Amino acid sequence: MNEVTTAPAPLERGFEGENCFLFGPSGAGKTTVARAAVRELRRELLDLPHAYVNCWQSYTKNAVLDCLATDLVGAAVSRNVANRELMTTVQQQLDEPGVVILDEVDQLREPGVLYDLHQISGLSWIAIANREIDLFAGLEERIRSRMSVGFRVTFDTYGDETITEILDRRARAGLGSGVVTRDVLERIARLSDGDARTAITALRVAARKASESGLSSIPARLVEEAALSAGEEVRQKTISKLNQHQRVIYEVLEQEGPLIQKEL
């Protein structure tokens, strides 16, 4: 958190912040930390221009620029506006330094849009991706060298002990005391394979199953089933977010099984 808040800190003094890249596995807290960093800034700067772009859903250059025009500078944008017009709108109306969170930035179909964002005076970003190589692999060298400058924060997979602590706080806040034992939480943590999102989902599923069975606490016998259900729930949510091209590949593999690249 300290590393991530350092990058946009100059914004508090009216200067452009540094770009910041957050890399690490799913469920490691990257998005949570990025949002918290922007919240910290907004406590000092209530009118800080800011935006959040989910690049999994807004994966084209036009969609990203549209989000910035709408959310960063509050422009009224009509449908099917050209990229050049959107860029001009943001450049003209961003009259003070601002920040944008680019979540799942490695999902951009046109990663070169980062170069365009770099041209917007006063704008800095917090870019979130699983792996650095996936983000920069498709860029030309001259663009890559320009874009890769910035803070880098690498998130490791959570350990079982840390996930158990996260679950313990969630359980006490959401379920009350005595509903789930430490042993059960540790068991859920072990089965989550370092993914806090899956672990929290498993805790919720286990609580729901216990409630449906008329139980006042979560027994250990429900943990394995809850973990399997949580994994499937997270998987289905991920599948539901696939863009058109990713969904075609997924459906082919689901029907045909493993394929080498040429067969795919």
Instruction: Please report how many Cα atoms fall inside a 13 Å half-sphere around the Cα of residue 90, on the Cβ side.
Output: 31
State the pTM of this model: 0.77
- CATH class for the region spanning 2-154: alpha beta
Amino acid identity of 16? E
Residue 30: the pLDDT is 92
Residue 189: the pLDDT is 94
- Paired with 55 in beta bridges are none
How far apart are the C-alpha atoms of 16 and 7, rounded to whole Å? 10
Fold of 160-239: Helicase, Ruva Protein; domain 3 (1.10.8)
Going by pLDDT thresholds of 50, 70 and 90, the confidence category of residue 64 is very high
User: What is the average pLDDT value for the chain, to the nearest integer?
Assistant: 87
pLDDT digits (tens, 9 = 90+) for 177-221: 889 999 999 999 999 888 888 899 999 999 999 999 999 999 999
Region of residue 21 (phi > 0: left; psi between -120 and 50: alpha; otherwise: beta): beta
Answer whether 2-154 and 160-239 agree in fold: no
Contact 145, 124 (CB under 8 A): no
Domain ranges across the chain: 2-154, 160-239
Going by pLDDT thresholds of 50, 70 and 90, the confidence category of residue 157 is confident
Residue 237: the pLDDT is 83
Going by pLDDT thresholds of 50, 70 and 90, the confidence category of residue 48 is confident
Q: What is the 3-state secondary structure (H, E, C) of the chain?
A: CHHHHHCCHHHHHCCCCCCEEEECCCCCCHHHHHHHHHHHHHHHCCCCCEEEEECCCCCCHHHHHHHHHHHHCCCCCCCCCCHHHHHHHHHHHCCCCEEEEEECHHHCCCCCHHHHHHCCCCEEEEEEECCHHHHHCCCCHHHHHHHCCCEEEECCCCCHHHHHHHHHHHHHHHCCCCCCCHHHHHHHHHHCCCCHHHHHHHHHHHHHHHHHCCCCCCCHHHHHHHHHHHHHHHHHHHHHCCCHHHHHHHHHHHHHCCCCCCCC
Residue 167: the pLDDT is 94
Contact 11, 123 (CB under 8 A): no
In angstroms, the Cα distances linking 28 to 16, 70, 131, 156 are 28, 29, 13, 7
